[in-house]
Amino acid sequence: MRDFASIVIWLFVASFWEVVVAPLVSIYGVKPDIGMIIVIYMALFNRNPVALIFGFFWGVVVDSMVPGNLGWSALLYLLVGYGIGHISTRFHWGTFAAQILLVFGAVAFYQTGHFVVLNFDEPNTFVFHFVRYGLTTALYSTLIWGLLRYFPGIHQVGKAA
Amino acid sequence: MASIQFGSVRRNRALFPIGLIILSFLLILSPMGMKEYIAEIGIEIFYLPIENIKGKFEDLYKVREHARRLEAELEKAKLQLSYFTDAVEENRRLREFLSLETDYGLKLIPAEIVKLPDIPNQCSVIINVGSDFGVRPDMAAIAPDGLAGKVKRVYDNSSEVQLLIDPSSRVSAVDNRSRVQGILKFNPIDGMILDNVPVHEDIAEGDTIKTSGVGGVFPQGIPLGVVAHFKIGSTSYFFAEIKVEPFVKFSRLERLFIMDNASR
């Protein structure tokens, strides 16, 4: 029950960020992927299955804006949550550099999948969208993770794994 | 904690992700109508409430900004109103001055008081017109209500006006009703008095006192004041004690008109 409540609260926190905060911190249309940051945090700290469930539902929430693609983001977030939760037991993610790489890689993976689906009918625009929004979103999200690392408790991420 | 809450999940660790992946594919492959329905639920639960709250806060912020702007405009309007009120008052006074010119048939030189007396007992003011405007000594200085004084000293661009409340000021006056004449003067103890009026003369409280024109300094008929107090025998057996309430409020003087005697 507590995990369920935690997931619902995090879903609302992420929604609040998307609706209220993201437009304020957006730089030329690029905003950090807070959903992915939460998935990574959960995967490293809470491990599965909380990260999996949050990732799945957050993906559904994200896809609500583009009903035609419903399910894709859920799948991508799910895979990221599962993947990180899976490898976190085998590697040590306590170092800052490792976490940076992890966040950047995860966001870049999601953005790749996201733009592949979005630009499925127009493959030529994929590179532009991926470079213009995908990589920049990955960089921005990594920066936010770097800043959040100084928050109390965040530095414990990785050690728990 | 997760092991307690999601115990069944832990037991089926491999099946759980696979189940969610299958669910994702089911969503992907579901018909558009179903997708729209699910998307609508997602929006209504997670986005719309937050959007509504955000909208309310934005409205509140806008209302606050609007109120602040209105407050500033109100202050500005108050200042303008004060300015216009002053302008209306000034307009009224100027009209009164213009009517004076018609009443006395003399050329009037408008003047503003630029300096009040430095010493309280010194009862003269400085006006902003002097010999350049044709002002000469002993010209009458009038206010809308009546005589205020006379020009004492003249400079190029300014003049000193001796007010009636100067103890050394003397004005030949006449009772407008009975034509009894006297000298209007001022002393700090009794105030303005009509002197040199024999006790048997016909003077009554409420009579209007005007300039008599005797002496040639002041034109005849300029209002001076009203008899406020008439008493016989308290200070002298020969002259009545007559106190006059001046028409001009000397503490509120702002503008004067200098009467050009030569234009008569």
- Give tens-digit pLDDT for B160-208: 999 998 888 899 999 988 899 999 999 888 889 998 888 888 888 899 9
> Is B39 in contact with A70 (Cβ distance < 8 A)?
yes
Question: What angle do the packed helices A96-118 and A34-45 form, to 10 degrees?
Answer: 130
Structure tokens at A40: 């990574």
* Burial per residue of B186-208, b for 16 or more beta-carbon CB atoms within 10 angstroms, e otherwise: beeeeebbbbbbeeeeebeeebb
Interval B74-82 mean pLDDT: 92
Interval B218-239 mean pLDDT: 83
Q: Give the percent of chain B with pLDDT over 70.
A: 86
Instruction: Work out the pLDDT band at B244, boundaries 50, 70, 90.
Output: very high
How is chain A split among helix, strand and coil, in percent rounded to 5?
A: 75, 0, 25
Instruction: Work out the pLDDT band at A5, boundaries 50, 70, 90.
Output: confident
Question: What angle do the packed helices A72-87 and A96-118 form, to 10 degrees?
Answer: 160
Q: Residues B7, B8, B10, CA angle at the centre, nearest 5°? A: 65
Sign of CA dihedral A80, A81, A87, A92: positive
Cα separation of B49 and A20, whole Å? Answer: 12
- Give B89→chain A minimum CA distance, Å: 54
Instruction: Work out the pLDDT band at B3, boundaries 50, 70, 90.
Output: very low
- Give A148→chain B minimum CA distance, Å: 24
Which domains does chain B possess?
105-164+253-263 (2.40.10.340), 170-247 (2.40.10.350)
> Of B9, B18, B22, B24, which to mutate for an interface test with A (greatest number of A Cβ within 10 Å)?
B24
The mean of the pLDDT values for chain A is: 82
Residues with Cβ < 8 Å from A49, sequence gap 6 or more? B2, B6, B9, B10, B16, B17
Q: Write down the domain spans for chain A.
A: 2-17+30-156
Using the Cβ of A114 and the Cβ atoms of chain B, whether some distance falls under 8 Å is answered with: no
* Nearest C-alpha neighbor of A52 from the set B203, B228, B59, B12: B12
- Give B65→chain A minimum CA distance, Å: 19
